[in-house]
Each structure stands twice: as C-alpha cells, then as structure tokens.
Chain A
Amino acid sequence: MKLVPVLKCLAALAVLFTTGRAVSAQELVEVFGPQTPNRVLVLRSTTDIAIFGPVVESFLRTRPGLQVRYEQWGSNELYRLTRRECRDGVAGADIVISSGVHQMVQLVNEACAASYRSRLTEQLPEALRWRDELWGITREPAVIVYNRQLVPVEDIPQTRFDLLDLLRPSGTPYAGRVATYDIEQSGLGYLFAFADAQEATTFGALQESFGRSQAISTCCSVDIIRGVAEGRYLIAYNVLGSYAQGYQLNDDRIGIVLPSDYTLVLSRTFMIPKQAQNQAEAAAFLDYLLSSEGTLALRTALLISPLLETEEGNEGEALSSTALRPIGLSPALMVALDALTRETFLRRWRSTFPGP
C-alpha cells in the first residue's frame, strides 16, 4: 500500500499557503490508497486536498484494498456538475462534500441524493441532517481576522458594531483596508452574506459602511488572509475560521476574533449521489467521519474548529454558545439559490462595491 502524499496536515497547509496555490475552480485530482485496488471510491469536494487528505488517509487505514480518488472542485462548478449528472442519470462521484450548503440542499431537494440511516447519523442534531440524505460533518466559524502589528489592541473589533464604529469616522485609517469575500465569485462568501442578512439588520449597515470606506471585495480565503498578514489589509471580515487558524499556526502576524454578537458556523455537507456506484463504501466513509476516530481526524485538520470549544488560546475566542449560529440544513436555504432572489441580492451588493 502506498500512501500519496504522506504529509502532515499542518505541513501541507504551510506548503499551500506559502506557495500561493489558491483554491480555484479547476479540478485537482489526487489518488489515495493502493494502486491496484479492488474498490474505488470517487470523492468530490470543495475542501483543499492538503487539508482533507489526512482524514481520507486515516479512513483508508481501516479499509484495506480501497482506493479513494479525490477530486477538488470549486463549489459552483461542483454544484453544476453534480446537478447535470443527476438530471442526466450519469454516474459520477460516490461522495460529494461541499461548503456550498445551499447548493447541496438544492440538490437534495431535487432528489439527487441517496438516503442512508445509521446509529451515527441519527445522533447528529436535527440542524445537521436533512431527510437522511444530507449531513453536516464539520464545524467552521466565520471569523474576523486582523493584523496584530498594525491594529492597536483597543481597535480590535469584538463585534460587528465595533467594526462599524471603526469605519464610521471620515478620516479613518481603515478606509480601503478592510477586505471581505467577493460574493459573486465565491459561493461560500455569498452563503455567509446571505446568512448575515437573515441573521441581523446589522448587515445592511455594515454593507453600506463597507461601501463608504471603499472596502475591498476579493476572492478566496487564502488571498484575503495572506493580505492581512502582509499588511495589505488591516481587517478581513467573514473569513472561514479553519483556514485562518491553519494559517495562524505558521504565521502569527494575524489575530482571529469570533464576533461575540453572533458567529456563523458552517458545516460542510456530505451527500451520496443517487447514481453513486459504490454507495456502501460511501456510507462507510460517512459513518467513519461521524465516529470518534473520524471526528478526531477532522479536529486535527481543524475542520471541526477548536476555536468553538476552548476557553484559552487566542484572545476573543471564548464565546457564549448562544452567540453561535449554525447554518442549519433546511429547505429555507433554497431561497439563497433562487435566481431572482440572488439577482436582487447581488444587485444591492454591486451598488455597494462598484468594482475595481
């Protein structure tokens, strides 16, 4: 059995971030497990291979003879591909794991998923499963990242209101130096923004404030985080906590805040497509991810965020659990994907960020 690549998660992250290989739409493929397998499991995911790879490897240790073909996709492309395969009845992936939760909900709503029940899936909270066809496997907060050297301690925003106050003065030094996702390009950014809009009226004010202070909207977690570390941006809003924390382990120039008014928590979703060739192995992988070993592996990969659990460590981490707002798996998320609604939402966004 040959394991490709034999890398520790953190080392992989370091390589990833320093070489600047960004998460992109194009397909990356990596094969785990024996070269001459008797079973092959096709896994399509939006998660970086370097981060999720160790989890797959630990699973394969319990399944000799199984090969996993890991394809990394951008969330919008993965959604389109899976939907097309579902409609055409073509067998594609055995497993789809995506951070575009709303897209996955839509796929399940369109009867693209196979159903599965086990003791472990039933132990999941209601918000993390839907119809026994979709399961949330990770816990990743949306955080505020700031540059430790350039942002004075008293300026560190603990809530969205602090951020608003920071941007309000006309001569604020933060003008043009706050970054957030470009929600037109990033499915995840759109989901966070949409959830924000549902969660509180603060978001309207924040959006307006971003527009006035010429905040930057750009693509991709890694770029944003690196920009903060290098001082190009002072503060980044709604960055995925798992990436930020992984970066922070190698580069302590950045600080992480979980907004204490509320913190969105994303669960990447796991789906077994209806046409999957190898549903039994797919279900076994799901059970593994939900088992204590799988949970430990996900925790090591920071996909189940330690930020949500520990009281010590980075400042501002301690957070009452009532401020945590998981993005629940519910058909209500379909609203986010509705074409007209999306168009209306994006039009408002564009009026705030007129573009470069």
Chain B
Amino acid sequence: MTDLIRRLASSSLTARVAFGIAFLLISGGVIVSIAAFAYGREAARSAYDRLLLGAATGIASSITVQDGRPVIELPVSAFELLALAPDDRIGYRIIGVEGETLTGYDEITLPTGRRDIRGGFFDGAFFGEQARFAVVSRRFAERTLNGTVKVVVGQTLRARNEMAYDITRKALYVLAASGLAMVLLSVVVVRSVLQPLERIAGGLTARDPHDLTPLDTSVPRETAVMINALNGFMARLDRQMNSMRHLISDTAHQLRTPVAALRAQAELFTDEPELARKEKIVERIQARTASLGRLLDQLLSQALVIHRGDSARRERVDLRDIALDVFEEGDHAVLNPEFDVILDIGEDPVEVLADAQSLKEALKNLLNNALRYGRSPVRIGASLEGERASIWVEDAGGGPVDGVLAELGSRFNKGARSRQSSSGLGLAIAHSVAHSFDGELLLEKTTSNSFRAALVFAALPEGRT
C-alpha cells in the first residue's frame, strides 16, 4: 500500500489525473447504471400499469345489466390498448357478485390479503410467466343486481422489461459519451496546466549563467508561488555575489597602498647606508606591518559578516554576553596597554534576535576604533532602553570633528561602503551587521568629552522564545 502511494507520488501528473478520472468513471458508471435501471423499471412499471388500468376500466364500463344478469361485450379497444405491449400475453377474469367467474381465466386468483393489492395492482403469474394485474371494481345497485363486479386484467412483463433495459441502455450511452468528453477535457486541461511549467523550464535552460534577474511572474497564480520563491532565491544569490565582488575590490584597494608603502620602505632600507636611519626605517616598517595586520583582520571580519548576514540563522542572543566575550578576549590589553578598558553591564539580560559571531566582530571593530582614535578610559557595555537594546563602545575623547561625523553618518545611511580608511572599514562592518539584523549604527557625542558608537536593535520581549 505504502509502496503504491510512493509510486503514485512520483508518477506523472497525467497518470494521476487519468487514475482519478478512471476511478470517477467506473464508480460513477456503476452508480448511474444501477440508478438508471431502477428508474427504468419504475418508469416502465408506471407506464404499463396505466395501460392495464385503462383496459380494466374500459372493460368494467362496458358491463351492462340485462334481466338481472351482467352482460359483457368485451371492448376490442381495451385489448388493443393492451396490445400496445405487442408480445405480452393477456389474462383477464371478470368476477361476478357472488365471486363466480363470469368470463375469462379461472386460473387468475386474487391475492387473499387486502394489503397484497396495492393501489389496485398486484403481481402474480400467468401460465408460468411472471405477470402484473390490475383490479377494477364496479358497483351495481340495480333492482335486480346489487353488488360489486370485479374486473381483473393482467399482462406478462416482456414489454416492461424491454423498456427498462432500453432506458438503462440509453442512460449508459449518455454516460459513455460524457465519460469520453471528460477524458478529452482532462487531457486538454492537463496539457494547458503543464504548459507554463514547460515554458519556465525552457526559459531557465536558455538563460545566461550570470543572469540572476527575476523571472517573468505573469504566470498562473498557482505556479507564481514557485516563481516567487525562485526569484527570492536568485535575489539572495545576487546579493551575495555583489557583496563578494565589492569585498574583493575593497580588499584589493585597501591592500595596495600599505603594500606599496612597505615596498618603498624596504627599498629605502636597502639604499640607506647610515645605520641610525636604517633603524628608523625598520621601525616604520614594523608600524606599517602592524597596521597591515589590523587591516587584514578587519577585511576578514567584514568578509565574515557579509557571509553570515544573509545566511546565518537568527537566534536569541544576550548582548551582555557579547560585550563580556570581547572584553575577556583581552586583545586590547596586549595591543594598547596604555588604555583603560572598563566593562559596563547590568544584571538584566539584553536579548535580541541576531547572530552572535557577527555582533562580536562588529563590537571588536568599534572597540579597535575607540582604542585607535579615542582617549582612555574606554567603556564597553550593553543596555536596554525601553524596547531598544543596544551594545556600545564609549571613549572619553571628543570623537571625530563634526563635519566628519556628519559625513560618516550620511554615507552609511545611503548604504555606501567606506573605502577611505581603516576606521571607515570598521564602521562599515558595524553598519553591515546592524543592517543585517534590522538595527542601526548610532554615532553620537553623549557629553562634551565622551563619544559613543552603538548598535541598536529591537529588544526581544522578556520570556518570549
């Protein structure tokens, strides 16, 4: 059974429709045949019952009374009426007042039970053949004759059965014709349903491999679901491709200058005869190398963020954990021992839906910026303000001059990526992360001598999972 279902699931749509139609036709055919036969029998019965009744009434009304005796001259018309069922035998019996047979077949007996004569008709047999009889009573109230004369007229069932079969047969013809029409119609419908799919498949096959533009959505509503999903998928792919392209060009651009500077210093070192100056050059090379290392770190984290932004699962993250992790990694203590870094977190969880790894990278970048450009002490922390959860880095400096700050803000709001400096790159990473999780990057002077860079997200209501 399960095997059958599995096979059915992978079978073609045409086969499924054919199976459905066949099932419908067979079950419908059986039901209609039975119904048609029942109807045909009923129709034939009532039609020929009327003939019987008509004949019996005709005979009954032809009875007259002469000299106290019923006189009967059978009307030929009554028998001609019965002869409308041309091949059926006719039985009749006229029963007098005393229950004696006046004329006709003694063999015909009335059923004894009153209930057996339903509506003036009863079923019986006539010379070994099944027959149906009608009974009509005629009351006489003459001086010489008082009582009821009964006329029984019957007929064998050949014409009735013939008519019933005929009706059934015709109903089956109609059924067969409509079944054929259904089959043809379903073939047409299946064809027309599958046509859009074939068109889509053809369009996809013929497509340029780099073409990720959306497909035409002017397709039937049912297939539009698939097309929309496909378009969404392609858009994501397109975004990732674009990010990669930007990353590569950014990286190339960012690396070219420091590498060129290093090479220039190295050449200077070779050409410099004086030892004291050589040492200075070595110091410069060291500084350059350190800065190149930082730059590479940032580029890698940006690549990580871009990669995770679209693909990482969002999960419940406590921003305090992020701040704590970054603080405890303690890179700052090694690289910038002169700075005082303080962790500032509360007791209540600050939860958002995001990706911990991305947040960590963003926070690290903000911390690095603060350590490079700001003043000690630097505080990092997470806090909840109403429905807004934020994770931030604050230093005691004045931040960039106003113009630069405004410029930075406007640039990020337009979604452009910084190529200018490594600080810009760090902010770009933070901005990307904020953007990926529906948040924003806020850069502001909180007091006259403190500057805060914060990632603000919609807080997750407490207790919700």
Residue of B71, B87, B89 with highest tally of chain A CB at under 10 A: B89
Quick one: given A109-B89, A111-B89, are A335 and B128 in contact (CB under 8 Å)? no
Contact A111 B72, CB 8 Å, known A339-B103, A340-B102, A341-B103: no
A330 near B86 (CB under 8 angstroms)? yes
Question: Closest residue of chain B to A130, judged by CB?
Answer: B87
Q: Which residue of B lies closest to A328 (CB)?
A: B83
A155 interfacial by beta-carbon distance below 8 Å: no
Cβ-defined contact, B128 with A111, below 8 A = yes
Select from chain A the residue with minimum beta-carbon distance to B77. A332
> Hey, which chain A residues are within 8 Å of B80, CB to CB?
330, 332
CB-contact partner of A335 in B71, B76, B88, under 8 A: B76
- A111 and B79 form a contact (CB under 8 A): no
Closest to A344 in B: B73
- Report how far A7 CA is from B94 CA in the complex, Å: 51
- A113-159 with Cβ < 8 A to chain B: 126, 130-132
Chain A hits for B102, CB < 8 A:
340
With both beta carbons as reference points, the residue of chain A lying nearest to B129 in the complex is identified as A111
Residue A110 interfacial (CB < 8 Å): yes
Interface members, chain A 177-236 (any B CB < 8 Å): 198
What is the 8 Å Cβ interface bit string for chain A, positions 321-345, against chain B (1 contact, 0 not)?
A: 0000000001110110011110011
Pairwise interchain contact A338-B74, C-beta atoms closer than 8 A: yes
Size category, B interface: 20 to 34
B20 at interface by CB-CB < 8 Å: no
* Cβ–Cβ contact A332 & B72, under 8 A: no
Interface residues of B in 72-129 (CB under 8 A from A): 72-76, 79-80, 82-83, 86-91, 94, 102-104, 127-129
Asked if residues B104 and A338 are in contact (CB atoms below 8 Å), the reply is yes
Q: How far is the CA of A153 from the CA of B73 in the complex (A)?
A: 41
Q: In the complex where A340-B71, A341-B72, A344-B72 touch, is A334 in contact with B90 (Cβ < 8 A)?
A: yes
Flag if A335 contacts B87 (CB, 8 Å): no
Closest to A197 in B: B76
Closest Cβ neighbor of B158 among chain A residues: A131
- CB within 8 Å for A341 and B90 given contacts A331-B79, A332-B80, A335-B79: no
Of the residues A132, A331, A345, contact of B82 by C-beta under 8 Å? A331
Given A111-B128, A334-B79, A335-B79: A341 and B73 within 8 A (CB)?
yes
**Cα separation A331 to B105 with both chains bound (whole Å):** 14
Separation of A340 and B74 alpha carbons in the complex (Å) = 8
**Least Cβ distance of B409 to chain A in Å?**
107
B83 engages A340 (CB within 8 Å)? no
CB distance from B437 to the nearest CB of A (A): 93
Indicate if the CB atoms of A331 and B127 lie closer than 8 Å. no
Most buried by A among B73, B82, B128: B73
Known A-B contacts A331-B90, A332-B83; A110 and B72 likewise in contact (beta carbons under 8 Å): no
A–B pairs, 8, beta carbons within 8 Å: A330-B80, A332-B80, A334-B79, A340-B72, A340-B94, A341-B73, A344-B72, A345-B73
